[in-house]
Amino acid sequence: MKFGKEFVSQMVQEWQDAYMDYNFLKSILKDALRRPQLNSRPSPGASTTSSQGPLKRRGSLYRAFSGLSNRYARNSPRKSSEEEEVILVSAVQEEGSDYGRYQTIFLRLSDEGGEYELLFFRRLDDEFNKVLGFYKKKVEEVVAEADELSKQMNALIALRIRVEKPVMGLLGTNTSIAAVGISPSPASVSVDITTSGGTRMDVIQEVEMTSEENDKPEDRDDGTTKTADTDHEANGRNAESSNYRPAPISIKDHVKITVQPQSPVLAAHEILKSSNSDVSVTKAELRKAEELMTRAFMEFYQKLQLLKSYCFLNQLAFSKIMKKYDKITHRNASKSYLKMVDDSYLGSSDEVSRLMGRVEAAFIKHFANGNRRKGMRTLRPTAKREKHRITFFSGFFTGCALALIVGIIVALHARDLLKSPGRNQYMNTMFPLYSLFGFIILHMVMYAANIYFWRRYRINYSFILGFEKGTELGYREVLLLSSGLSVLMMAGIVSNLDMDMDPKTKSYKALTELVPLGLVVVVICITFCPFNIFYRSSRFFLIQCAFHCICAPFYKVTLPDFFLADQLTSQVQAFRSLEFYICYYGWGDFRRRTDKCNESKLFEVFYFIVAVIPYWMRFLQCLRRLYNERDKMQGFNGLKYFSTIVAVVARTGHELRRGVTWKIIAAASSGVAMVSNTYWDLVIDWGLLRRNAKNFWLRDKLVIPNRSIYFVAMVLNVILRLAWMQNILGIREAPFLHKTALTAIVASLEIIRRGIWNFFRLENEHLNNVGKYRAFKSVPLPFNHG
């Protein structure tokens, strides 16, 4: 792979605008290469006869083999003077700027083609100053964050003492252990709690860093970083008692725990209580504070890793582009420029490496009980490996599902079931039961397609949706689950088609009639299974987000929560199928395939309620975001969902009641909801239809090169939204379709529309993150100082 492609593949996507623009500089050099005077310029030290006839090949062989000796000639006075005559690099301090800028003076402008080289160095300086400024800014941010984490650790340790009340030992005993701090300042202080005997904490000791030399990192053989703090820790047990002083226990009186409530009742109490009321710290809250601090350390360490990678990749890119410049122009200017890069803050700063060493030592000590292997496994989770068996089984289950579909079609035609007297009975009873699984499978397939295209166009969906690193599902895993569920569904349909009614009792065998209910029970049991099977972390993440959606006003709304709620708004027919399950197996006679749902007023009431629930959750989420963020756009979004609720109620009333009044109300409300939802989809969620954008009626930045795809998606969005109107227009049954089948098709079109919406919604969110260089999750810290 060429370096340009490898460079792009290893970028932090949210920082892509802050990286050196390697392709742009390379294009300038390609333009310079087209100049004949540059092509004919001899390389330094080359003879004039080496470029003619057979001598050219012979000379290239000698030059390729003489690389071993060229290394010793780099420091020769003659070559060094040649480099000095090409460029002159100097640092310039501009007024009003906190950072110095580097400027390169090209000394060979009078040479033929020198204007291209002058342009190259100007752009090169711009790119270097951009990279340098961004790196300095990010280092300052992590240094400030390290100070805050140190304060949070001091508060955590003090509250551990307050809650657990450890037995305090005498100073200077052999049980004292020195602590490791993470603050970048040389006088940083932290405390540590260790276990000894029957208690968790026997001695709390504190040590001051008296020299910056103690913090200098050392490289290990395994690629990790070792700091002098760990050596200091090893010698701490033999240190004199005068080197230690008690931990500042009084810090507990100056901090307030701000752990987010974990139940709706506590959340409501948190909203309604006075801001100056005292909060008693319990062991449960302390454990939650420790979990938050663990996540904060992991996120901070990941930030340091990416920042170190950013520094290394850009240094490598400058080295590659300068070598390419020397090769094209036959000059020797790379050494002096790369020396400047090495001497600059980008190449000489070791703040990030030292912070990584301190974070590792502190995390291992305070959160891994001194177990380095466990601590590093948490800080550096292994990348998820693609497994061939997943691809095999997903293909196998897909083939089985297709074979079952063919079998169902053959059975329908061979037995002429489409014209049988029991057709309407089957479509009214069994079809809604199995359509539930069809809606779920179709949504999973659309989600798998979304994942595939998100990865193809390098959209960081795992970060946007809040998945833990290494636990997110790929499109192969989602296809495996959907294909497995489709096999179970098709097998159940075949079993019901194959069973004939007993002409004497006019009843079906109860076993096969319970197949749909059994499938629902199996899916629910697998979803809530506590064992580590079937992607437990993803299942629990889904359950947590669903619980937050149900308790929408009592939890702070995050993107995964309202993204899932948006998915549920496209599964209204699936919710109604669940209602039908309860009615059919609770009040109906499933042995005779008869139901009394249409005769029940309670079923009719819940037919309204079930359809409104997903939109009501989104409405409450908008109100909560309006309360937290004070963003008026969330109020408008809430009004949009309220208009949708009115439209759903009106359409449902028209479906059940029928009449001119209901038809007028349903048509008016559905038209308003369709216009408002379509505008919000295209303009707010997708960020399109920008009049003054660089791309005509789109947005300035697009991840898909083919712009026509965006216009096709917008047209499809409008057309698929119009499918809502089929019930109002009186299209209830096609000549070759039953009304329940037509309803299922319309619901499937809505799921397809949601799948298309998902891609462009996350694309817009990704581009917003790129514009704000937002590459990390914001982890709430458990303590508030003051």
Q: Is the pLDDT of residue 702 over 50?
A: yes
User: Which helix (H) or strand (E) element contains residue 708?
Assistant: helix 708-721
Mean pLDDT across the stretch 725-753?
A: 79
pLDDT attached to residue 232: 42
406 and 539 together in one domain:
yes
Burial 399-417 (b: 16+ CB within 10 A, else e): ebbeebeebeeeeeeeeee
373 and 394 together in one domain:
no
pLDDT band for position 418 (cuts 50, 70, 90):
confident
Q: Which distant-in-sequence residues (6+ apart) come within 8 Å of 287 by Cβ?
A: none
Q: Which distant-in-sequence residues (6+ apart) come within 8 Å of 755 by Cβ?
A: 443, 446, 447, 449, 450
Pairing of strands 255-257, 783-785: antiparallel
- 3-class secondary structure per residue, 290-328: HHHHHHHHHHHHHHHHHHHHHHHHHHHHHHHHHHHHHHH
Share of the chain above pLDDT 70, in %: 74
489 and 558 together in one domain:
yes
Does residue 128 belong to any structural domain of this protein? Answer: no
194 and 250 together in one domain:
yes
pLDDT attached to residue 758: 97
Does residue 273 belong to any structural domain of this protein? Answer: yes
Find out whether 239 and 204 touch, Cβ atoms under 8 Å.
no
Mean pLDDT across the stretch 402-419?
A: 86
375 and 393 together in one domain:
no
Find out whether 732 and 739 touch, Cβ atoms under 8 Å.
yes
Q: How many CB atoms lie within 10 A of CB 579?
A: 17
Share of the chain above pLDDT 90, in %: 39
199 secondary structure, DSSP code:
B
Q: How many CB atoms lie within 10 A of CB 271?
A: 12
Q: Which residues pair with residue 192 across a beta bridge?
A: 205
pLDDT attached to residue 316: 93
pLDDT band for position 245 (cuts 50, 70, 90):
very low
600 and 474 together in one domain:
yes
768 and 688 together in one domain:
yes
Give the number of domains in the chain: 2
Find out whether 14 and 769 touch, Cβ atoms under 8 Å.
yes
If DSSP codes are grouped into helix, strand and coil, which group holds residue 204?
Answer: strand
pLDDT attached to residue 205: 35
Of 655 and 505, the one with more pLDDT: 655
Q: Which distant-in-sequence residues (6+ apart) come within 8 Å of 751 by Cβ?
A: 439, 442, 443, 446, 570, 571
Does residue 338 belong to any structural domain of this protein? Answer: no
Q: Which distant-in-sequence residues (6+ apart) come within 8 Å of 273 by Cβ?
A: none
The model's pTM is: 0.79
402 and 538 together in one domain:
yes
Q: Distance (Å, rounded) from C-alpha 601 to C-alpha 568?
A: 25
Q: Which distant-in-sequence residues (6+ apart) come within 8 Å of 582 by Cβ?
A: none
Of 775 and 666, the one with more pLDDT: 666
User: Which helix (H) or strand (E) element contains residue 148?
Assistant: helix 114-164
Among 362, 379, 396, identify where a domain stops. 379
What single string gives the DSSP state of each residue in 214-242? GG-EEE-TTS-EEEHHHHHHHHHTTS-GG
Does residue 66 belong to any structural domain of this protein? Answer: no
Of 416 and 714, the one with more pLDDT: 714
Mean pLDDT across the stretch 623-631?
A: 92
Find out whether 493 and 434 touch, Cβ atoms under 8 Å.
yes
Does residue 174 belong to any structural domain of this protein? Answer: yes
Q: How many CB atoms lie within 10 A of CB 76?
A: 10
Of 88 and 355, the one with more pLDDT: 355
Longest dimension (CA), the chain: 109
pLDDT attached to residue 425: 82
Q: Is the pLDDT of residue 100 over 60?
A: yes
Q: Which domain holds residue 365?
A: 157-304+353-379
273 and 422 together in one domain:
no
Where residue 687 falls (left for φ over 0; alpha for ψ -120 to 50; beta otherwise) is left
* Least confident among 61-70, 323-332, 475-484: 61-70
Q: Which residue has the tokens 């909060």?
A: 279
* CB under 8 A, 24+ apart: contacts of 241-245: 241/171, 241/172, 241/176, 243/207, 244/171, 244/172, 244/176, 244/178, 244/205, 244/206, 244/207, 245/171, 245/206
Does residue 238 belong to any structural domain of this protein? Answer: yes
pLDDT attached to residue 327: 87
Give the mean pLDDT of the chain: 78
pLDDT band for position 34 (cuts 50, 70, 90):
confident
Q: Which residues pair with residue 105 across a beta bridge?
A: 88
399 and 293 together in one domain:
no
pLDDT band for position 165 (cuts 50, 70, 90):
low
Q: Distance (Å, rounded) from C-alpha 293 to C-alpha 779?
A: 9
Residues 128-149: tens digit of each pLDDT: 999 999 999 999 999 999 998 9
Work out the burial of residue 24: count CB atoms within 10 Å of its CB; fewer than 13 is exposed, 13-18 middle, 19 or more buried: exposed
Does residue 342 belong to any structural domain of this protein? Answer: no
Residues 547-590: tens digit of each pLDDT: 999 998 888 899 999 999 999 999 999 999 999 999 988 887 78
Q: Is the pLDDT of residue 110 over 70?
A: no
Q: Tokens for 614? A: 């997903």
pLDDT band for position 239 (cuts 50, 70, 90):
very low
Q: Distance (Å, rounded) from C-alpha 456 to C-alpha 576?
A: 36
pLDDT attached to residue 55: 36
Among 329, 362, 379, identify where a domain stops. 379
Find out whether 44 and 331 touch, Cβ atoms under 8 Å.
yes
pLDDT attached to residue 192: 38
366 and 488 together in one domain:
no
Among 379, 397, 432, identify where a domain stops. 379
Does residue 552 belong to any structural domain of this protein? Answer: yes
Amino acid present at 124: L
CA–CA distances in Å: residue 380 to residues 73, 223, 350, 453, 601: 42, 12, 20, 27, 58
Q: Is the pLDDT of residue 692 over 90?
A: no
Q: Which distant-in-sequence residues (6+ apart) come within 8 Å of 339 by Cβ?
A: none
pLDDT attached to residue 455: 93
685 and 623 together in one domain:
yes
* Least confident among 300-314, 392-406, 678-692, 719-733: 719-733
pLDDT band for position 223 (cuts 50, 70, 90):
very low
* Least confident among 42-56, 126-140, 182-196, 509-523: 182-196
* Least confident among 502-511, 581-590, 613-622: 502-511
What single string gives the DSSP state of each residue in 430-466? HHHHHHHHHHHHHHHHHHHHHHHHHHHTT--HHHHTT
Amino acid present at 190: S
Mean pLDDT across the stretch 444-448?
A: 97
CA–CA distances in Å: residue 740 to residues 154, 255, 316: 63, 61, 62
Q: Is the pLDDT of residue 535 over 60?
A: yes
Q: Which distant-in-sequence residues (6+ apart) come within 8 Å of 74 by Cβ?
A: 335
Find out whether 317 and 7 touch, Cβ atoms under 8 Å.
yes
Closest CA to 624 of 643, 637, 611: 637
pLDDT band for position 230 (cuts 50, 70, 90):
very low
Q: Distance (Å, rounded) from C-alpha 402 to C-alpha 486?
A: 9
Q: Is the pLDDT of residue 481 over 50?
A: yes
